[in-house]
Structures are given as structure tokens and as C-alpha cells.
Structure 1
Amino acid sequence: MRLKNSEWTKVFLLFTIIALFSISPIINHQQFIVGSDTAFHMNRIFDSAMQIKHHNIQYFISMYGYQANARIVNPLYSPIWIYGFGLILDILKSWLSFQIASDLIFALISQLSMYYLLRENKIEEKLSIFLSIFYYSTISGSYIIENSFNGLAAAILPLGISVCVRYITNSNKPVKIVELTLATSLMIQTHILTTLFLISIYILSFFIFLIQNRENYQKIYLALKNTLVAGILTLLLTFNVWGSFLEIYLSNKHIIKPFIRNDYAFTGELFNIDSVTNGAWRTIGLLFSIVVVFQASYLIINWHKTNFKNKFVSILGFIFLLLDTNFFPWSILWSKIPFMRDVQLVNRFGFIAKPFIIFAFALTITNLIKEKRNKNFLILPISFALLSIIFNTSAIEKVTQQILGKPAVVTPYKVNLEDYTNNKIFRTKKLQKAVNKMKDGTIDYMPGKIDDDIPSQYNRAMYFDTNILNNKKNSKKFIKTTKNNKLNYMFTAKKINKQVMIPAIKYGHSIIRLNGKIINPRLTPIGSIIITPQKRKNMLQISYSPSAFWKIGMIIWILSIIVCSYLLINNKKYALLQ
């Protein structure tokens, strides 16, 4: 369904007003919200911002964030977003201004993507607007309050759902190459685990398409061809992510996975009807619970006359919602299938359930309006949208009031918040001040090996914390500088033949020079560098030289972006991406 530019302009302005209203407590109180993932992402964004500011681009190792320890994170985790956010931070000059801008971007993307899904499926304009607002409100806590990129992935997810629904409902044109390519590429650039879930739903949808059209080989051929074209384009447009994974994992014997949990309690959203204003960020909330019960009841009563589209999206939504509860036997599954623990937090399934269930709810309301010829059914979604945005804003107000009253914002690592009451370090233009306080204690993607049990992981994290993060002796010993995409550690060795541990990480393709000579140093279990320097002033230089495969791939990636952008702009003229 092609929408007029005037409609998009109207909803964009409306959604902007809604977004500004929802984050108004942050703007009014000038309070930066510190969430569970703030330290991790703040260091990533700061690193890219400083690279841009100083025109010193190093795609792999961290030269500014993470205490300038040469750790590799950004190439493996939403690199495009991080460089985009880094540019915004560099322009706005303060963490508070950046948070307001990024929250606004998140709010607009989540509302516009849901609006696109609903309008593509012929849901009337007013209903689409209010359910888009409702959707934003149901996922906003994950990003605005917790600062989690799961929320950002959820904001994009409706685009992927549109791809799935097209497979099962539009046999004449089951694939829009642009839609499939952009939806998948954006998700890969945002969150890998959510991408895997999305691709699994693609496969299911395509399998249903094959069954529906098993005797029409021409339609199957066309769908396969367009899917293949979109797949190739997606691979080209996301080489910077999967190519970087190959670069890192093939050049290092071991890479530490993101943290693993052995327990499943309290990780899911649980089927809890607490209001979001009670601080229950990981509960589905009262309003969404009503939608779930309403949709389930409607299907039970009207199963035989409900269309396949509604059944399909409803069932998928309910399945993912079940996976997001303690009703599902996660403890048994994790004990029998250890790799399933890579999911980390089962509330990630809730992010997938929400857009499916809200979309199904939209189909149900639309059907009820047509059947009963009564638009009063719109009262329900409109009421939910208005109440949810009020609840959402109240939740953010509650968090900012907590910050105003006391600086003890809960964070998962050793972050000393007592010495910057009222968020002063987040309002200053000296970005480094906040980063120095918000030290990230995770060991994700470091070149070491740990067991999957929590004590081992905890001990390695504490080793990292003691030797790199909070080693005051080391912080005074080393002078760190960056130049020409290289990280320099200058220090003075006062004794002969005494080993020195450099608070920096070495990977397989890292190049280590001591006083101008390339060396192959001994490493700690997490990849920290140990050297025996001369009794003199020394300079240890760290750089990174990726493989020829990665370099060639990145050239092709850049050219692919240029060509695809040109074709997209001139799509009507060339009609290659229809």
C-alpha cells in the first residue's frame, strides 16, 4: 500500500510530539538516566565520537572508550548505529543532550515502523496511529530507561514482520526486494540475536508460502528469485558486521561470549500485570495484558471465521510470549541444551511477541468494525494508546525524581555515583568525565577462554576489573596517547627484567611494538599484554591490521551502499528493486 507523502509528514509530526511528551521529564529535570546497559554502550559511543572528532578512525580496537584498552567491541555489535550515535554526540557535546536525541530517534523509529506494518496491511489510518503509539509505549522502557539495544531492535522489528506477512498473504507478489533487504540489513546492523529469531520466522513464512502455492511453479520461482536477490543485497550491505565476525573469530583461538546465565528466574518478563509505573520494566504491564487476553478470547470464540493472517501472527505472538515467561521450562532446557543459554535473558522473546500481538489486535479490531459496522470498537485501542503514553511518561518521571532525590541509580557494575549528585557530569561538555566514572566491567569479545559456569565468568570479570578497570597504580604509571590509528602507552621501567602488565588487550591481528620493534608478548587469560621492558622510558604501541579478505570486503561494502542508494533513489526509473 503506497502512502502519500502528506500522510507520512502528518504522522511524523504527530509521533514527534508524542515522543517529546514521553521524554519530557528528562528534558524538564535535565536528568540523565543511567540504566543497566549504560556503561557498556556509553564507552562504545564515546570511542566512536572521539574517533570522529579527532579524525583518527580505527574500526577495530578501542582507543578512547573502555579506558583505551584496545578492546574490540564495536565492529561486532551495531557498528553503523554506534558511529551514527558517535556523530550525534560529537555534535551535541553533552551526554544529556545525546540521550534526549537518541531517545527521540528510538521513539520515532518504533512508531513509524509499526505504522508502516499496519498501513501495509490496510489497517485504517486512525487505528494505525494509536496502535503505533501503544507499541512504542510497550517497548520504551527497555531503551529509554535500561539503555538496552534490545529495545532498538524491537523498534525495527515491525519492518521484518511485514516481510513475513507478505509471504503468507500476497501470493502474486510475496517479496518486495527493498523491504526484505532493508528490514534484514537494519536488523543485522542492530542486534544479531534478534536477527536470528527474525530469519527463523522468515523461513517459516516462506515454507507456508510454498505449501500454499505448491502447484504454481511460476510463483515459487519468482519468490525464490526475489528472495535470493534480497539475500545477496543484504549480505553485501552487512559485510561490515559478518565480515568482522569472521575476521575476529578466525584470527583468535578463543573469544569470550557475552555473559551467560545459569539461572532463569527473574530474567523473563513473567506474566505480570503490574503497571509500568511500578518500575516493572520486565513485566508485560496491565494494558498489554488486556490486549493479550482480548486477542486470545477473540480467537477462541471466532476461530473458524478468523482469517489465516490473524491466526498466524496471533499464534506466533503467543508462542514468543510463552517463551518469555516462567511457565516455560527454561531450567530443564538449559540443563539439557547448554548452548540455549546464549539467549542470556529470556525477556528478549517478549520483544518479538509484542509487535505480533499488537498487529493481530489491529486485525481483530478492523474485522469487528467491518462486521458490526460500529466504529466504537476504536475506543479500546485509542484508550490503550492514551493510557500507555501517560503511564510511560509517569515511569520516566519516577526515574528522574529518583535521580533528583539521590544519586544512587542502580547499575550492574562497580560504578561510583555518589560524587556527581544531580547528574552534573552528564551535562558538561567534558565527555570524558562521565566515561571515567562509567567503567564497563564486562568481558564480552575478549580473546580468552572461560567456562560457561558463573563462578568462572565472575572470577575472570573480577580479574579484568582489578587489573584494568580499577588499577590505580597502572593508571598513574601509563600515559596513553592516540595517533595515526594507533594507541600508545608511554611508561618508565625502573627495574631490570621486571615484568609489566599493560592494561590493554591483544587480538590475533593486533600489532604490538615496544620501542619501535614488533614483539609477540605473553598474555593473561583475557588477553592483557605482559612484557619485560628495558630500564628506561618505553613506548608500547598497539595497532590492528585486518586480513586482506576484510579489506577487500569493506571496499565492496562501500561500493554496494553507493550503488544500492542510487538504485533506491531512482527506483521508479530502473525498477530493479521492485
Structure 2
Amino acid sequence: MKTVIRNHGRYLLFIILASFVLILPQLLTKGMILGSDAVFHYNRFYDTAMQIKEFNFQHFVSMYGFQQTGRIVNALYGPLFAYIQGILILLSPSWFGYQVLSCFLIYFLSGISMYTFLQKGQIRHSLSCAGAIFYLTTFSIQYWTMRQGFSSWGAALLPLCLLPIIDMATKKDFNWLQLSILTSLMFQTHVFSSLILILIYIPFFLYAWLYSDRKSKLVLQLAQAIGLFLLLTLAIWISFYFVYSGNTIADPFINLHMDRSVITRNSIYWVFTPGFLGVLLITQLIFTPLLWKKMSTLNRLMTGSMIFFLILSTNIVPWKHLQGKDIYIVELIQFPFRFFVPVTVLLIFLSCYTYQHYVHQSTTKKLLVTLLLVASVGQTMMTTYHILQNWVDEKQMIMTGKKHLFVRTNDNQKLKAAVHTRDFSEFLQLVEKSTPDYLPIYQDNPLNKYNQYEKYVLNNPHKFKKTVKNHRLVVEWESNTTDMLDVPVINYERTELTLNGKALQKDDLRLTKIGTIQVQSKIGHNELVLTYNGSRQVLYPIIFSLISWIIALTFLIKQTYKKTKSA
């Protein structure tokens, strides 16, 4: 530890300082940035926060977030990382405090991740630090700050997860334990980012295998890595089986305008956030053919990977002709601009390497790099400040379209107060969005699922009281008739419902096409209790997976310590 502090301490302090500087606009203005994905993710994290607070761990259904409907979201969307975010909420005094804390954390994590990656590639300390700080200012990370795009958390981990490719290219070998842990960490955080990670691994592994004289050993190591990966992510696979085996689940948002979500059209800001990133990209592409013969295998493989993902992020790929054709892999991609994340990571590495090895060093050039870095941080701060002014001046307090968004107040001061109160539920009641991801689908349902969620849940005319008692979701209401009533809770295959003390069977209720229930009320007070049959069955896989994490991390730490000590 002393060696780490001695060699890297001041550079880590610079990364911490840069992370703090980048959150200064928000600290000074006390403003919020509520992007297109804020409401969805804040509901996810509020749910896990309340589970921890009330010691009511519900792996599947949401009893606190998402209008307390018993929806399944977190079990299929990075459950482990959702609980980490829930802890951040419990440590925060308000939504404003959480947003500032989460932004600082993602900056710090991104910086350490990139610094470690560059150090592994033998980039000198000062340049590694500069590259790490520059990474914080790119839209790959700013996507979380500006829009609460969750792929930024995958981007924060991506450089760290690329450590194995350096050994594959330089040593024709890799640490299978490290590879498995890093891939599992990414999978637990953001599934799409883990797919990108695997795509990056493939050419590097193939090179190592083709040019290694120990091919069988590499195959065995890969098998070991895959086996451990399945153990470390076992809870997620079990969750997918439980949910998908008995239900038809609504897919996440399917983008029918993918051709617009590319860096060569509406998302060109990915290339110019900050402005110097575009200059770096053009410069690196120009110098690549000139330096190709001098490049190491590592740089050639990285360059090939960077160009591959760069093409995927543009309209060179005919996204317009691929969208809307029910091609699963295309629907999974959603936004091609996300392929620019690995482009950014690899570009920073290649640019640092090129500067270190092929540019004559001088005080003037070092000063120029420093000024460009300061300008990039300054540009990011100014952009953040201008967006925050929309909140401060009450021009556009929520930075997303009004479609499918419901703000339950016209009083802007009330909305501002809601993000500064300790009661996190207040904001989620004032601002709602009808995101239908992972709802169960009953019958053939070509109708707009957003509109149906709005009809049966958000705009339900009847008054319901929802509470959580004894680890169960309890819905109460008064009725003066015995008519069928739409109750805003979601029924999945394993959902168990009890109405007025009687367990409901399938014949006792009707289901809308998105799984909300219709039951026959009695005159007077009614009480519906919702639980999910599956939480106990998944408990043992979760415990087994957590034990696997502890053992795997212990062995990896021991390996790293021995290697550091011997060095």
C-alpha cells in the first residue's frame, strides 16, 4: 500500500480534485439535471434503498418504487449495482445530494479505471493522469450527468475491464480469474456494455491463441473463466429463468429511428464532448497508416477494434434498413451511439501511446497538453452550468420530452423542494413516467404499452392506499359497489394475491393486456395483499453467488499482492 501511495498518490489526488471540480456547478447552483432516464432509474434505486432501510429484501417485485405496483425491474437490470445505488441514496440527504454524490462517484471511478488501464499499458504516470481526467469530460461519462444514461456506469468500468487484453496482446496469455471477475462485474452493472466488452475480447484472445504454443492451456483458461462467470452471475440467470419461463415480457424500448441515433447525425455531440476529442480522433486516424509498421501488436489490435466500433456508431451500417425488422440483436442495440464508448476508451489509450512514443517531448508541448486538458474540463463545467440554469431559472426543469411524462404539480417551487427533502418518495410522486419495460404481456398486444400503463396505473381514477407491511405490499380502498375494479398492481406468473383474506386464483380476476388486475370489490373497505413466490427459491443461488464473489476476489487480491511484492 505504501508503494502504491508513493508512486500513484499525487495522481489519484489530481483525479479526486478533478472529480470535485466537475461537480462544482451543481454545488454552487443547487440545481438538478433531470434527463430522459432519471425517473426510471431513480425509481429502481429508491426501491432498493427502501428494501435495505426496512430490511425487506424483495429480489423480484418493486414494493416501493414504480408506483408500488409490484413490477419486476431490478431482478433483470443489474440487481447488485442497483443495491449499491440504493446505499448511496441512504447516505444522501435528498435527491439533490444523491445526484451530486453519484456524479462524484462516477467521475472518481472512471478516472481510476482509465488511469489503471493506461498504467497497465506502460503510459507514464503524468500522461496516464491527464488521460484519466480527460476521460471524465467525454460524453461516455457525461451521459450520466446530463441525461442519467446508465451506460455511463458501464463506460466507467470499461477501461478497468480491458486490462486482460494487454496481456493477451503482449504475453499471449491472460489471468482467467481476473478476466472472469471483470466480465462478471460489467455484466452485473450493464448488460449491453458487457456484450461490447466480450466483442473487444474476441480478437485479442484469437490473436493470443493463434500465436501461442500453449493453445490447449488458453482454451482451458477460457473454460475456467466462463465457468466462474456463470457462478458469479448465477442469481441473474436464475432470475431470468423465473421471470421469462412463465411470462411473456415486454421488451425494453425499441428504437425505430436508430439511423438518427448515430454520431453522424443527431448524436454528433458524442464526438465533440469535449471539442478536443474530435481533433484527437481525426489526428489518430490520419497518423495510423503512417505509423502502422512501427505499431506494436497491441496498438494494431486496439486500432482495428476502435475502427470497428466507430463504424458501428455511424450510418455506414444501414441502421435505417435494419430497424423495425424484428431482429433481436438490432433491437437490443437501441442506440448505435453507445458503440462510441469503446471508441473513446481505445482512442485515449492510443493517443497517449502515440504522444509518448512518437512526439518529441518539450516543455511547450507539455504545457499545451495541460492547457487542452484545462479547456476540456472548463468546457464540461460550462455545459453543465448552462443546463443547470434551466432548473434555476425554471425554463425547462425536466430535460426530456413531455411525451409519457407526468408532472403532478404546476408549482415549480414545490418541485424544487421535493428534490431537497429527506422524503425521497415525494419527488417520485410528483414526477412519473410510463416506461413499460419488463411488464408482462397477456394476449396479443399490439397496443401502445406506454398508453396502457398510463391508463391503468398513472391515471387510474380510483383512490388507493399502498403500504408495505410484514414484507407484503398491501393495497387498500373503499368501494360503494360490488363492480369489477381496476387495481394498479401487476400480476406475473408467480405473483400471489389475497383479496379480503381470500387467496385469489386465476378465475377470480381479470387481467389487462399489461398485467394489471381487475377484481370484484365488496362494499366498504377492501384490502389486497401482494407477494411473489420465488424470492425464497432464489435466495440460495444469491448466497452461493455472493460466496463465490468473496472467494474469487480473495484469490485475485492474493495474486495481485504476490505479484506486486515480487516486483
Normalised to the residue count of structure 1, the TM-score between the two structures is 0.89
Q: 1:155-211 CA distances to partner (integer Å, 9 max, x unpaired)?
A: 11112222223212212xx21234313321221111111111211222222112111
Determine the C-alpha separation between the residues in 1 that align with 2:34 and 2:476: 33
Match of 1:382 among 365, 370, 377: 370
Kindly indicate whether the alpha-carbon contact (under 8 Å) linking 1:271 and 1:283 is maintained by their aligned counterparts in 2: no
Q: Note the residue ranges of structure 2 that are not aligned, 5 or more in a row.
A: none
Q: In structure 2, what is the equivalent of residue 445 of structure 1?
A: 438
CA distance 1:225–1:385, change in 2 (3 Å): farther
Deviation at 1:299, TM superposition (A): 0.8
CA distance 1:101–1:241, change in 2 (3 Å): same
CA distance 1:547–1:485, change in 2 (3 Å): closer
CA distance 1:377–1:328, change in 2 (3 Å): farther
Match of 1:361 among 334, 351, 356: 351
Counterpart of 2:392, as a letter, is L
Counterpart of 1:426, as a letter, is V
Match of 2:260 among 261, 266, 270: 266
Counterpart of 2:151, as a letter, is N
The CA RMSD over aligned residues, in Å, is 2.6
Q: Secondary structure of 1:148's match?
A: coil
Q: In structure 2, what is the equivalent of residue 136 of structure 1?
A: 136
Kindly indicate whether the alpha-carbon contact (under 8 Å) linking 1:282 and 1:347 is maintained by their aligned counterparts in 2: no
Is 1:403 the counterpart of 2:391? The answer is yes
Determine the C-alpha separation between the residues in 2 that align with 1:267 and 1:222: 42
Kindly indicate whether the alpha-carbon contact (under 8 Å) linking 1:168 and 1:205 is maintained by their aligned counterparts in 2: yes
Q: In structure 2, what is the equivalent of residue 238 of structure 1?
A: 233
Q: In structure 2, what is the equivalent of residue 71 of structure 1?
A: 71
Determine the C-alpha separation between the residues in 1 that align with 2:276 and 2:457: 45
Q: In structure 1, what is the equivalent of residue 512 of structure 2?
A: 524
Q: In structure 1, what is the equivalent of residue 298 of structure 2?
A: 309
Determine the C-alpha separation between the residues in 2 that align with 1:482 and 1:468: 18
Q: 1:417-450 CA distances to partner (integer Å, 9 max, x unpaired)?
A: 7423472211111211111122121100011169
Q: In structure 1, what is the equivalent of residue 495 of structure 2?
A: 510
Q: 1:56-99 CA distances to partner (integer Å, 9 max, x unpaired)?
A: 22121111111100001011112122211212212223111111
Range that drifts further, 229-238 or 429-438: 229-238
Kindly indicate whether the alpha-carbon contact (under 8 Å) linking 1:131 and 1:382 is maintained by their aligned counterparts in 2: no
Kindly indicate whether the alpha-carbon contact (under 8 Å) linking 2:137 and 2:273 is maintained by their aligned counterparts in 1: no
Deviation at 1:354, TM superposition (A): 0.8
CA distance 1:7–1:469, change in 2 (3 Å): farther
Deviation at 1:272, TM superposition (A): 8.5
Alignment of 1:3-14 (within 5 A): 4-14=4-14
Kindly indicate whether the alpha-carbon contact (under 8 Å) linking 2:43 and 2:66 is maintained by their aligned counterparts in 1: yes
Kindly indicate whether the alpha-carbon contact (under 8 Å) linking 2:491 and 2:516 is maintained by their aligned counterparts in 1: yes
Determine the C-alpha separation between the residues in 2 that align with 1:527 and 1:306: 57
Q: 1:435-479 CA distances to partner (integer Å, 9 max, x unpaired)?
A: 112212110001116989xxx46x2211111220132x23x2x21
Kindly indicate whether the alpha-carbon contact (under 8 Å) linking 1:272 and 1:285 is maintained by their aligned counterparts in 2: no
Kindly indicate whether the alpha-carbon contact (under 8 Å) linking 2:270 and 2:340 is maintained by their aligned counterparts in 1: no
Deviation at 1:107, TM superposition (A): 0.1
Match of 1:434 among 420, 427, 435: 427
Q: In structure 1, what is the equivalent of residue 187 of structure 2?
A: 188
Determine the C-alpha separation between the residues in 2 that align with 1:32 and 1:151: 18
Match of 1:460 among 430, 434, 449: 449
Counterpart of 2:78, as a letter, is S
Alignment of 1:555-566 (within 5 A): 555-566=543-554
Kindly indicate whether the alpha-carbon contact (under 8 Å) linking 1:271 and 1:284 is maintained by their aligned counterparts in 2: no
Alignment of 1:106-185 (within 5 A): 106-138=106-138, 139-171=140-172, 174-185=173-184
Counterpart of 1:61, as a letter, is V
Count residues with an aligned counterpart: 553
Deviation at 1:306, TM superposition (A): 2.0
Q: In structure 2, what is the equivalent of residue 206 of structure 1?
A: 205
Q: In structure 2, what is the equivalent of residue 540 of structure 1?
A: 528
Q: 1:105-125 CA distances to partner (integer Å, 9 max, x unpaired)?
A: 100111111111100010111
Deviation at 1:574, TM superposition (A): 9.1
Match of 2:224 among 221, 226, 229: 229
Kindly indicate whether the alpha-carbon contact (under 8 Å) linking 1:317 and 1:353 is maintained by their aligned counterparts in 2: yes
Identity over the aligned pairs, expressed in percent? 27
Counterpart of 2:499, as a letter, is L
Kindly indicate whether the alpha-carbon contact (under 8 Å) linking 2:472 and 2:531 is maintained by their aligned counterparts in 1: yes
Range that drifts further, 335-344 or 311-320: 335-344
Match of 1:490 among 456, 476, 479: 476
Q: In structure 2, what is the equivalent of residue 85 of structure 1?
A: 85
Counterpart of 1:488, as a letter, is V
CA distance 1:341–1:165, change in 2 (3 Å): same
Q: Secondary structure of 1:415's match?
A: strand
Q: In structure 2, what is the equivalent of residue 61 of structure 1?
A: 61
Match of 1:392 among 351, 374, 380: 380
Q: 1:107-150 CA distances to partner (integer Å, 9 max, x unpaired)?
A: 01111111111000101111100011111111232011111111
CA distance 1:212–1:572, change in 2 (3 Å): closer
Kindly indicate whether the alpha-carbon contact (under 8 Å) linking 1:407 and 1:420 is maintained by their aligned counterparts in 2: no
Counterpart of 2:411, as a letter, is D
CA distance 1:440–1:241, change in 2 (3 Å): farther
Range that drifts further, 331-340 or 504-513: 331-340
Counterpart of 1:307, as a letter, is S
CA distance 1:8–1:71, change in 2 (3 Å): farther
CA distance 1:445–1:380, change in 2 (3 Å): farther
Deviation at 1:406, TM superposition (A): 1.5
Kindly indicate whether the alpha-carbon contact (under 8 Å) linking 2:71 and 2:490 is maintained by their aligned counterparts in 1: yes
CA distance 1:373–1:136, change in 2 (3 Å): closer
Q: 1:545-566 CA distances to partner (integer Å, 9 max, x unpaired)?
A: 1177633312311322333344
Determine the C-alpha separation between the residues in 2 that align with 1:554 and 1:58: 12
Determine the C-alpha separation between the residues in 1 that align with 2:42 and 2:501: 33
Kindly indicate whether the alpha-carbon contact (under 8 Å) linking 1:267 and 1:345 is maintained by their aligned counterparts in 2: yes
Is 1:419 the counterpart of 2:411? The answer is yes
Range that drifts further, 318-327 or 509-518: 318-327
Is 1:197 the counterpart of 2:196? The answer is yes
Kindly indicate whether the alpha-carbon contact (under 8 Å) linking 1:272 and 1:283 is maintained by their aligned counterparts in 2: no
Q: 1:315-340 CA distances to partner (integer Å, 9 max, x unpaired)?
A: 21122122212343211233667321
Deviation at 1:282, TM superposition (A): 7.5
Kindly indicate whether the alpha-carbon contact (under 8 Å) linking 1:49 and 1:83 is maintained by their aligned counterparts in 2: yes
Q: Secondary structure of 1:347's match?
A: helix
Q: Note the residue ranges of structure 1 that are not aligned, 5 or more in a row.
A: 275-279
